[in-house]
Structure formats: C-alpha cells, structure tokens
Structure 1
Amino acid sequence: MKRFFLLMISLITVILLVVSCEKGEKTVRVPLFLVNKAVAKEFPVDKNLVLARALLENPKVSFSDERLIMDLDYKISLAGNKSEGKTKVSSAVSYDSATREVYLTNLSVDEIRNKDGSLVEKGRIYDVINELLANYLAKKPVYEMEEKYKDYEILGIKIEKGSLYVTVKN
C-alpha cells in the first residue's frame, strides 16, 4: 500500500506541475489509466489474519458517479476451508485541509462472488475482506502535500460523473 500512496503522490505532483504554469484555480481530471496503474502496483495484498489468510489481487479500478470502485480477485483460507472468486469494493475520496492529506473513506465490500459466479452470502468471508480493508487501507493517507508544494492549495478532490477531479489553487 505504501507504493500506492507514493504513486498517488506522484499523480498529484504531476497535476501540480501541469497547473503551475498558470495562477489561480484549476480543476484537473485524473485519467483512469493512471489510477489503475497506481493501484496495480499495490497488489497483491497477502495478509495473515486471526484464523484466516487472505489474498487480494488483480485490481481493476473504475468510478461510479461518486465512488471509486475496485474489482478484485480474492483467495481466502479460513479454518482450513478455501474460497476464491471476485469481490467489488467501493470507496469515497476525501481531503483533510488541516493535515493536508487525502484519504479513502467509507470503504465497503459491495459484492462477493465465488469462482463459479454465485453470490456469497454475508458472513465470515465478508468479515475477513472488511477486516483486511479496515486494517490495510482505511485510516492511512494516500497523499500528503509535500513541502515544496506548500504554495499550492488543494481545494478539493472528488469523484464526479465517473471521473476523479483534483482542484488546486496557486
């Protein structure tokens, strides 16, 4: 995940460089391929949890109207039982101007399907994936404004109409 944070820093740095030529407020759309590239570098996520081992891999990022969506492959070994398939996770994106950090917020597991495509009922598999998300992604900043960009102000980061936008002011 540290690489994801660094790649998000790189993406926002590129945006800041692009808008540095002009004074004032600018809103820039971050291309989806850059977001996918950043996320792909953070996977696979392979963690040992209490009584379980979980692997998340092969992320594919898209955006709904207001949320970041990640489709992931999962493999979970839970008390000797193995399960694998695909899961859909969604998140909002928020910026804390006091700390100058960007966070993924309101992470949720929207859907889990077994290898055969059947829906997994809510239960321990959901709990394991939620625990992995809560301990691995939540609460960690994905970007902190670097000192050399202290003259830039991030006015907002939002997902709107299926795209990620960053608004900056210099």
Structure 2
Amino acid sequence: MPVRHRWSAAAFCAFALLALAACGTLNTVSGIFGNQINFTAPQLQRYLNNSFPREFDKLGGLVSATLTNPKLTIPPGDNRLRLDFDVGVRAVGAGEVSRGRFALASSLRYDPATRGLHLQNPEIVSMEVPGSGSLIKGGTRELLNAVLAEYAREEPVYRIDSDLLARLPSGKRIGSTDIENGLVVVHLDR
C-alpha cells in the first residue's frame, strides 16, 4: 500500500477510535435531548464525592451526625435513587455514641434557588449501627430523619452548572425530575 494511503487509513482509524470513545463516554455526560436533560449516576456521584464529609448539629450542638462516603446508585427498574452513607453520631460529654451505615431511597426535585437536584421524600431503607441499644438506635433514626430533612431542603445532590442552563432551548425551563431507565431525567417545560 502506498505511504499516502497508509497514512489516510491510519488517520481514518484514529478518527473512528476517537468517535467510538466519545460514544462510549456519552452515558457519563449530561445531554440535552429535545425536552429533557439526562444525568447519570456517575455524574451525581462525582458531585457528592466533592460535597462530603458533612456534619449536622442538632439540639443546639448537643448531638451531631457526620455523614461520609456517599455511594449513589440507581437500582434497575426503580424510580428512586439509593444513597448509602457511613454515619457517626456524637453527643456532648459522651463522645461518639454510635457508628454505622445507613441507606435511603429518594426521588429528586429541582430547586431554582440552588440550581440543584434535591432529595424529595427521602426514606431510610436500612440502618446498621452495631453495638447500639434500641433506645440509641431509635434516637439515631430520629436524628437521621432530621438530618435528611435538613439536607433535602438545603443541599443539592447535584448542582446544574450555569453553562448547561444557558444552553437550554429558547423558552424552555426546568420542569419535573424523574428517574427512568437508570438515568435522572430533568424534563423541560415552556
């Protein structure tokens, strides 16, 4: 094969490989498709990784919960995401009261004030706090529910960047948010 044809074939192969790689990463990049914006679990996970650990004080700082190691998944066939956390509970004068792990399931809502996707109706689906008695475990559950309510109200699971919002089609705005087929789907309304 002449040198010129080999170079053209090599350039074509390189271009084809780059195009295939771009298609392969399309699932991890948000995209605007007509009347919706799609986000993947890995996108939300990257945002969460930069947002934790987080400490929440309750009862005027007498009790606190520290959430670490968030792990976000979208279970197949589910319309809610799942978030798993490590949790440490401390009380003034007692130090660390309990340490364990809990998981929640939640849908999402968009809040224009934060440009973020927030938990909506989070529900604790499992809680493992080894070595704690039922009174402490019940108190831990109450504390976690209070922490989740505060977190859902004030902190997004994912913040939509200004550049993406600026690229919305003319006259469109963020509407409802659903979880469909393993994706977070933000619907666009007029």
TM-score higher than 0.5: yes
Whole-angstrom distance in 2 between the partners of 1:91 and 1:119: 27
CA contact (8 A) 1:28 1:166 kept: yes
Asked if 1:42 corresponds to 2:55, the answer is no
Asked if the contact 2:67–2:88 (Cα under 8 Å) also holds between the matched residues in 1, the reply is yes
Residue of 80, 88, 98 corresponding to 2:103: 88
Distance 1:141 1:123, change over 3 A: closer
**Structure-1 residue corresponding to 2:7:** none
Counterpart mapping for 1:1-170 below 5 A? 15=30, 18-19=31-32, 25-50=34-59, 51-64=62-75, 65-78=78-91, 80=94, 82-95=97-110, 102-115=117-130, 123-135=138-150, 137-140=151-154, 142=156, 148=166, 151=170, 152-168=172-188
Q: Is the 8 A contact 2:40 2:182 kept in 1?
A: no
1:93 is matched by which residue type in structure 2?
L
When you count helix as a share of all residues, which structure comes out higher? 2
Deviation at 1:40, TM superposition (A): 1.5
> In the TM superposition, what is the alpha-carbon distance from 1:28 to its structure 2 partner?
4.3
Gaps of 5+ in 1: 1-13
TM-score normalized with structure 1 length = 0.68
Give deviations 1:123-169, integer Å, cap 9, x for gaps. Answer: 1000111111112x222373589584573323432112332122336
Contact preservation (8 Å) 1:113, 1:119: no
What amino acid is aligned across from residue 145 of structure 2 in structure 1?
A: N
Bigger Cα Rg: 2
**Aligned position for 2:19:** none
CA 1:145–1:168: 2 relative to 1, 3 Å: farther
CA RMSD of superposed structures (Å)? 3.4
The unaligned stretches of length 5 or more in structure 2 are 1-28
Match of 2:21 in 1: none
Q: Which has the higher contact order (CA 8 A, sep 6+)?
A: 1
Q: Distance in 1 between matches of 2:188 and 2:67?
A: 33
